[in-house]
């Protein structure tokens, strides 16, 4: 009897030792789920990005991911904005519910930066000490991570309120996390113009990352749901499509691949793209958008309404023209006519500036034409990154002049045409500084 008891104890000890061998100290053996939700813009014109992210928070929170494992970065200038006719409320659908209530705001205002984002993503607690909530992803080798970003974008970058995150830096961070066993599986949903360029030919297919983007590397994403009372767009087509799908699905059985197919079909304004490990598409939404043991009933299906979709670069002008059409007094009409004229003049200035840079940098009219009309894929990052930053610093700050983002393709083309960075930088100086 005693010997049998000792045998049982020995077997238990061996089993526990086996478990211990497969564990990394400080991490739960079965793994947990984490979410990092980021709105990179600010201002009433960009209302939709923060509304998207607030909605995403409500999904994660409702589905059982505890707040200590959800990190939210948003400028937080909507709820109490002077232009908000319903103070304290943010919506993401016509007559929709308040998606702002209860949102954890870990990092707001000047703390919303690409540097902080990368530290939070990689679990750098020391680097975030004394900043915002200080919360970071403490994900381990058994954990699932969901990352959702909404803002403006351009070739090889996504925008933050005062700077930009570069594609190579993001993918370097992802690879470092993989090598450090900081996740088991990770999913990215990115809403931005040309967002495909953040992963195309950069994200490996064998590091357990599944990434979808609102647009391919060459096109705009689209805003939707214009609200007359608020005077702005409430959401983005790709974002509201995936979130409203999650809201109505049984997420315990609906797969990532099924959602991708639905969103790709419903987002008829741009080409929704998929990168990375496509085999992860068989995993369920609940494995990333919910707590591990949570079974969530589908939510009320919102009434179908027109998208009223407009390309992201045209949002500001669209809003101004709508407000002009609604204006009833001479003063209001003159105000919006003036603002429209200013915006159109700025667009013309950006376009002529880029053309002048190309003319100085290129070798002849044929090359200038190619630079301004073609779309090369971005491979020459060592040329493009310093040139892009120089353009932003000396011509048009990309985080303030959204339309300038739409012309960065010309800088890509110059680099891919093998014009030297020195030549392009010199052309920028001559056009913008002299």
Q: What is the pLDDT of residues 210-236, one digit of tens each?
A: 999 999 999 999 999 999 999 999 999
Point out the least confidently predicted range of 20-29, 101-110, 221-230, 267-276: 20-29
Closest CA to 40 of 93, 112, 148: 112
What is the bridge-based pairing of β-strands 222-227 and 310-311? antiparallel
User: How buried is 382 (Cβ within 10 angstroms: 0-12 exposed, 13-18 middle, 19+ buried)?
Assistant: exposed
The pTM of this model reads 0.91
d(CA 337, CA 376): 37
List Cα–Cα distances, 331 to 165, 328, 426, in angstroms.
Answer: 41, 9, 45
First to last CA, the chain: 95
**pLDDT reported for residue 243:** 97
Do 357 and 427 contact (CB within 8 A), yes or no?
yes
Q: What is the pLDDT of residues 229-252, one digit of tens each?
A: 999 999 999 999 999 999 999 999
**pLDDT reported for residue 378:** 97
β-bridge partners, 34: 145
Q: What is the pLDDT of residues 368-391, one digit of tens each?
A: 999 999 999 999 999 999 999 999
Q: What is the pLDDT of residues 155-173, one digit of tens each?
A: 999 999 999 999 999 999 9
**pLDDT reported for residue 293:** 66
Mean pLDDT of 75-98: 96
Mean pLDDT of 171-191: 98
Q: What is the pLDDT of residues 315-356, one digit of tens each?
A: 999 999 999 999 999 999 999 999 999 999 999 999 999 999
Give Cα 191 to chain centroid, integer Å.
5
How would residue 292 be classed by pLDDT, with cut points 50, 70 and 90?
Answer: confident
Q: Look up tokens 């750098």; give the residue.
A: 124
How would residue 301 be classed by pLDDT, with cut points 50, 70 and 90?
Answer: low
- Whether 10 has a pLDDT exceeding 60, the answer reads no
- Whether 100 has a pLDDT exceeding 50, the answer reads yes
- Whether 367 has a pLDDT exceeding 90, the answer reads yes
Among the listed residues 93, 152, 376, 407, the single catalytic one is 152
Mean pLDDT of 299-313: 77
**pLDDT reported for residue 295:** 58
* C-alpha dihedral (84, 85, 86, 91), degrees to nearest 10: -60
d(CA 81, CA 87): 7
Q: Answer yes or no: 152 catalytic.
A: yes
How would residue 4 be classed by pLDDT, with cut points 50, 70 and 90?
Answer: very low
Among the listed residues 54, 193, 224, 383, the single catalytic one is 193
Residues 6 or more apart from 396 whose CB is under 8 A from it? 350, 353, 404
**pLDDT reported for residue 307:** 77
- Whether 39 has a pLDDT exceeding 50, the answer reads yes
Q: Answer yes or no: 144 catalytic.
A: no
**pLDDT reported for residue 302:** 63
- Whether 2 has a pLDDT exceeding 90, the answer reads no
Point out the least confidently predicted range of 73-82, 169-178, 301-310: 301-310
- Whether 190 has a pLDDT exceeding 70, the answer reads yes
- Whether 286 has a pLDDT exceeding 90, the answer reads yes
Q: Look up tokens 């109490």; give the residue.
A: 80
- Whether 306 has a pLDDT exceeding 90, the answer reads no
The mean pLDDT value of the chain amounts to 92
**Tokens coding 4:** 């049998």
Percent of the chain with pLDDT over 90: 89
**pLDDT reported for residue 23:** 33
């Amino acid at each position: 009897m005693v010997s049998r008891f000792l045998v049982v104890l020995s077997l238990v000890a061996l089993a526990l030792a086996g478990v211990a061998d497969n564990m990394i100290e400080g991490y739960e053996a079965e793994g947990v789920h984490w979410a990092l939700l980021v709105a990179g813009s600010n201002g009433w014109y960009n209302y939709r990005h923060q509304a998207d992210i607030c909605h995403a928070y409500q999904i994660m929170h409702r589905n059982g991911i505890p707040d200590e494992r959800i990190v939210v970065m948003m400028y937080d200038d909507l709820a109490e904005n002077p232009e908000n006719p319903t103070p304290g409320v943010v919506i993401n659908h016509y007559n929709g519910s308040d998606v702002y209530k209860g949102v954890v705001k870990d990092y707001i205002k000047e703390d919303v930066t690409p540097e902080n984002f990368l530290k939070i993503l990689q679990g750098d607690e020391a680097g975030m000490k004394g900043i915002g909530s200080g919360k970071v992803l403490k994900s381990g080798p058994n954990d699932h991570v969901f990352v959702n970003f909404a803002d403006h974008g351009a070739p090889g970058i996504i925008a933050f309120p005062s700077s930009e995150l570069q594609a190579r830096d993001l993918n370097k961070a992802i690879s470092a996390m993989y090598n450090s066993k900081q996740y088991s599986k990770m999913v990215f949903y990115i809403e931005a113009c040309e967002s495909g360029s953040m992963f195309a030919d950069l994200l490996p297919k064998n590091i357990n990352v599944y990434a979808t983007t609102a647009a391919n590397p060459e096109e705009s994403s689209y805003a939707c749901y214009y609200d007359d009372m608020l005077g702005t767009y409430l959401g983005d087509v790709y974002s509201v499509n995936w979130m409203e799908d999650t809201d109505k699905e049984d997420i315990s059985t609906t797969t990532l691949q099924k959602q991708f197919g639905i969103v790709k079909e419903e987002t008829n304004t741009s080409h929704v793209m998929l990168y990375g490990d496509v085999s992860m598409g068989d995993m369920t939404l609940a494995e990333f958008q919910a707590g591990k043991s949570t079974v969530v009933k589908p939510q009320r299906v919102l009434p179908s309404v027109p998208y009223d979709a407009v390309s992201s670069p045209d949002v500001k002008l669209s809003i101004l023209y709508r407000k002009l059409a609604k204006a009833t007094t001479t003063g209001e009409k003159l105000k919006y006519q003036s603002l429209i004229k200013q915006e159109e003049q700025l667009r013309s200035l950006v376009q002529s500036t880029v053309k002048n840079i190309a003319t100085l940098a290129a070798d002849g009219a044929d090359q200038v034409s190619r630079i301004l009309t073609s779309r090369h894929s971005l491979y020459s990052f060592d040329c493009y990154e310093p040139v892009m930053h120089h353009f932003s610093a000396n011509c048009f700050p990309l985080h303030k002049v959204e339309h300038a983002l739409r012309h960065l393709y010309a800088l890509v083309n110059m680099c891919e045409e093998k014009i030297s960075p020195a030549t392009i930088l010199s052309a920028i100086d001559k056009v913008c500084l002299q």
